Structure 1
Amino acid sequence: MAEGTGAGGGCKACDLMLGRAPLPGGSVLRTESWVVEHCVGPLGLGTLVVKPARHVLHVAELTAQESGELGPLLQRVSAAVTEVMAPEQVYVCLWSHAGGAPGHIHFVVQPVGARDMSRFAAFGPALQVAMGEAGHFPEAADVRRVCDRLREVLG
């Protein structure tokens, strides 16, 4: 599975994936190369993380199989988030730093609506920064409920 620091610990993405850290809602979907989980950060209910099943620091390091699965998977996950959360837009962006150094890459799939933009008086990257600074985390029970629904949709 993971290689590098992820296999032995010290990588939050790997720790969540391998059950070494609490993950409300559990895994939403696993493919041969990718794992989908609810975001454990303050980016709102229904925000998912799509990450390689192995410890990868750079997109350029993805295998042909991993990169071949990525586009269709991001579209599929975005469609599921759209169906379950009914946002105005779904942001999809790469995050990969941990403590200022490259970390396990992961794509954030975030539902965004007018309420979010109004509450934080921001949109796009500024919205994500504002949400991070506010530090409001979804309730674990809500995360479990949304993850159950997303699993149904992703079938």
Structure 2
Amino acid sequence: MTPDPAASEPAPACLACDLTAGRAPLPGGVLLRAGSWVVEHCVGPLGLGTLVVKPARHVLHVADLDTAEAAELGPLLRRVSAAVTAVLAPEQVYVCLWSHAGGVPGHLHFVVQPVDRSTRVRHGAFGPRLQAAMAEAGHMPEAAEVERVCGRLRGVLGG
């Protein structure tokens, strides 16, 4: 599918674009720019060490990724998952697509989330229900904690 030229321009109210461009606070900063992709710590309540892998350009649908973006995606998700595993030693790393903002498609991003037993037990859930429970609980990691873990992740990710 040919990318929509308008899709390369940031959407008027796109948090993902604002975070990458430095127009919104991003604890930990950009961890990695790899080809057409950007890796950052999640700014939502999905736990310490949860990363976001997103295209550098504003893209709403996987079908709209260009050839280079599509080719880079699998190896990058593996690399980021391996870094999360090395730094946080979770029992599992969830990788899932999120792309809705306010109920409409938003900037495509993959969530790379370390999950351990204590988190599952605390929320009484796993998988998508765990993510929903964490979102409902609304616990945000402290910025200083995010900065520390991002420093460790950056060291493993290289760049």
**TM-score between the two structures when normalised by the length of structure 1:** 0.96
Q: Distance in 2 between matches of 1:77 and 1:8?
A: 26
The residue number in structure 1 matching 2:30 is: 27
1:45 to 2:63 alignment: no
Q: Which residues in structure 2 correspond to 1:101-140 (within 5 Å)?
A: 101-140=104-143
Q: Distance in 1 between matches of 2:153 and 2:108?
A: 22
1:54 to 2:57 alignment: yes
Deviation string for 1:115-153 (max 9, x for gaps)?
Answer: 000000000000000000000000000000000110100
The residue number in structure 2 matching 1:94 is: 97
Q: Distance in 2 between matches of 1:64 and 1:139?
A: 38
CA gap of 1:138–1:6, structure 2 versus 1, over 3 A, is: farther
Q: Does the Cα contact within 8 Å between 1:5 and 1:11 map onto a contact in 2?
A: no
Q: Which residue identity is paired with 2:85?
A: T
| Residue segments in structure 1 that go unaligned for 5+ positions in a row | none
**TM-score between the two structures when normalised by the length of structure 2:** 0.94
| Residue segments in structure 2 that go unaligned for 5+ positions in a row | none
2:153 pairs, out of 142, 147, 150, with: 150
2:83 pairs, out of 80, 84, 100, with: 80
1:70 to 2:73 alignment: yes
Q: What is the aligned-residue identity percentage?
A: 72
Moved over 4 A (4+): 2-6
3-state secondary structure, aligned to 1:55: coil
Q: Does the Cα contact within 8 Å between 2:8 and 2:57 map onto a contact in 1?
A: no
**Number of aligned residues:** 154
Q: Does the Cα contact within 8 Å between 2:37 and 2:55 map onto a contact in 1?
A: yes
3-state secondary structure, aligned to 2:52: strand
3-state secondary structure, aligned to 2:10: helix
